Structure 1
Amino acid sequence: MTFDSFVYDALPMRVVFGAGGIGQLPEEVRRLTLRRVLVLSTPEQRDLAERAWDLLGDSAVGIFDRARMHVPTDTVAAAEESAKELGADGCVAIGGGSTIGLGKALALRQGLPILAVPTTYAGSEMTPIWGITDNARKQTGRNRSVLPRTVVYDPDLTRSLPAGISATSGLNALAHAVEALYAPDVSPVIAAMAEQGVRDLAAALPAIGKNPADPAARAAALQGAWLCGACLGATTMGLHHKLCHVLGGKLDLPHAETHSVILPHVAAFNLPAAPRARAALARALPDDDPVAALNSLTHRIGAPHRLSALRVRESDLPAVVDEVLADPYANPRPVGRAELERLLAEAL
């Protein structure tokens, strides 16, 4: 793969990767000169938040365990109030994309630095992209202020992640790399990271399905998610992410599952117009037909592959098409109403 010209803008990020990495939380908080951190989590991961609280000792001032999918504005407001009352000077966001997304909202609106400890493969921790949902409309943007200052990747924290969630979360990450490969601002560095990220995840996810506690597969999947997330942070996303943002915000769909359904359909639409991306995916998956390989991977790991399985109805689709067309993302192939309607009908 060669490039005639490109710009690569590296994002400032400290990454701590390794089994048992959560034990380094106190040192990493001190490196950031934070003294009063608020620990963020979902209700389901309260026990993990309490583990972080115990490790941090006097550096932690509270736990906010009400992070929710798609980062609703009322959740953000409640977290802001908690942070103000406790005098927090930063956040430790421990969990998946919902928790890290809430941390980003606090960074955007309150200027609180984030230390992220991801427990899924969503990749949000590697990006300056934020999203907040208000009245079923998800607003997204890019701002370097929301980029976590430090990310601690501990594969041990993902070993209890159920195989089904691992599958959809991993496909979510893989989608970042697929779109990065045909992004208008892709560079040799990002293309190499994307290809390796796809390779890591495509090998690790089936292994996790067979043995969710496999430490080598967990480490490989988390490494792949890191690389794919970095691709998301460094490039312009296209039709796949636009569709997932609109579907998720408008219909309140589960984020990762939406990605797993939509990815093969958008790949089938876009890859004929993106030969270099297609070649990279063929090497990484490895399969001469990357779309067939993506479909096969989705089925092998038991991820959902129909929007109807997410309770989407045909009557929901026209409003989705309207919103996608109202503010389209950059894409290697032009997309109009007829193409969108056909793609969504096939995904349904």
Structure 2
Amino acid sequence: MQIVGSHQYPTMETVIYGKPAAEALREEAERLGAKRVYLIASRTLNTTTDEIEKIRNGLGDRHAATFDGVPQHTTRDVVTLIARQASEARADLVVAIGGGSVVDAAKIVLMCIEHEIFEPAGLDGFETTPDRRFGAFRNPKVRMIAIPSTLSGGEYNSGALVTDTSRKLKQIFNHPMMMPRSIILDPAMTRYTPEKLWLGSGTRAMDHGIEAICSSRPNVLVDAVCQQGLRYLHHGLLRTKSNPDDEAARL
């Protein structure tokens, strides 16, 4: 039986792995011609480790500013505050360094910068609805790079989940150009992630892979990637559980 199908690749360009984040980000900023790099970082990484300082030093004059106040659940008021600050800093590249909430915040910030949305109510009408998969907005000209510290995998898609605290409602915002242009995988950035969060995000990643394999709309390319990914996750999680300092297993 002949297999027929297609696979649409996303707008991501590059995944860099095994290289120190500071070095890889400096090279990517140079490649992209970025002059004003705005960092959205995990507060833990920024205040209790020297990892973010290494990144700032690597960027040198390209570093525009750093924000480290993203809450556990990304909110409208925080993303619009970041967007205002990034716009005032004349950011031409946004970098998310941390877990899923930080990555989601960066995605929404791109949209807010493009449309000058600096107040929570300004996001009304941009959210995804059952009859509108992608928000009705222009391509963000400012793009992002993600440096994840967990295994949640949100950086590999173009959607973001944001909480509207005034209505106690979580909403999805989605646009192909909200996806990172590059992802930098540096195991050193994950060493500070609490074990419970690290293993939990890995288990969630395995769940995503199993769901994809069991999809009613199968894709042979996706199946192959997910099957191998599940093998890596299985062995990597067991190794990091027994030896948290095993950076090869974290990668």
Task: Give your verdict on TM over 0.5.
Answer: yes
Report how many residues are paired: 218
Q: Does 1:22 align with 2:54?
A: no
Residue aligned with 1:131, SS: strand
User: Which amino acid in 2 is paired with 1:38?
Assistant: Y
Residue aligned with 2:105, SS: helix
Report the Cα distance in structure 1 between the residues aligned to 2:169 and 2:5, rounded to whole angstroms: 34
Contact 1:70–1:138, Cα closer than 8 Å, also in 2: no
Moved over 4 A (4+): none
Report the Cα distance in structure 1 between the residues aligned to 2:23 and 2:145, rounded to whole angstroms: 14
- Within-5 A mapping of 1:104-119: 104-110=107-113, 111=140, 112-119=142-149
Residue aligned with 2:150, SS: coil
User: Which amino acid in 2 is paired with 1:40?
Assistant: I
Contact 1:39–1:52, Cα closer than 8 Å, also in 2: no
Match of 1:176 in 2: 208
Contact 2:158–2:177, Cα closer than 8 Å, also in 1: yes
Report the Cα distance in structure 1 between the residues aligned to 2:175 and 2:96, rounded to whole angstroms: 18
Contact 1:34–1:89, Cα closer than 8 Å, also in 2: yes
Q: Does 1:8 align with 2:38?
A: no
- Within-5 A mapping of 1:137-156: 137-156=169-188
- Within-5 A mapping of 1:100-139: 100-110=103-113, 111=140, 112-135=142-165, 136-139=168-171
Bigger radius of gyration: 1
Report the Cα distance in structure 1 between the residues aligned to 2:61 and 2:241, rounded to whole angstroms: 39
Distance apart, 1:21 and its partner CA: 4.2
**Which residue, 70, 89, 102 being the options, matches 2:73?**
70
Report the Cα distance in structure 2 between the residues aligned to 1:145 and 1:53, rounded to whole angstroms: 25
Q: Which runs of 5+ in 2 are unaligned?
A: 114-139
Distance apart, 1:207 and its partner CA: 1.5
Distance apart, 1:203 and its partner CA: 1.3
Report the Cα distance in structure 2 between the residues aligned to 1:20 and 1:65, rounded to whole angstroms: 21
Report the Cα distance in structure 2 between the residues aligned to 1:3 and 1:34, rounded to whole angstroms: 46
Contact 1:130–1:143, Cα closer than 8 Å, also in 2: no
Residue aligned with 1:138, SS: strand
Residue aligned with 1:103, SS: helix
TM-score (norm 2): 0.81
Report the Cα distance in structure 2 between the residues aligned to 1:144 and 1:191, rounded to whole angstroms: 22
Q: Which runs of 5+ in 1 are unaligned?
A: 220-348
Match of 1:41 in 2: 41
Distance apart, 1:106 and its partner CA: 1.0
**Percent identity over paired residues:** 29
Q: CA RMSD in A?
A: 1.8
TM-score (norm 1): 0.59
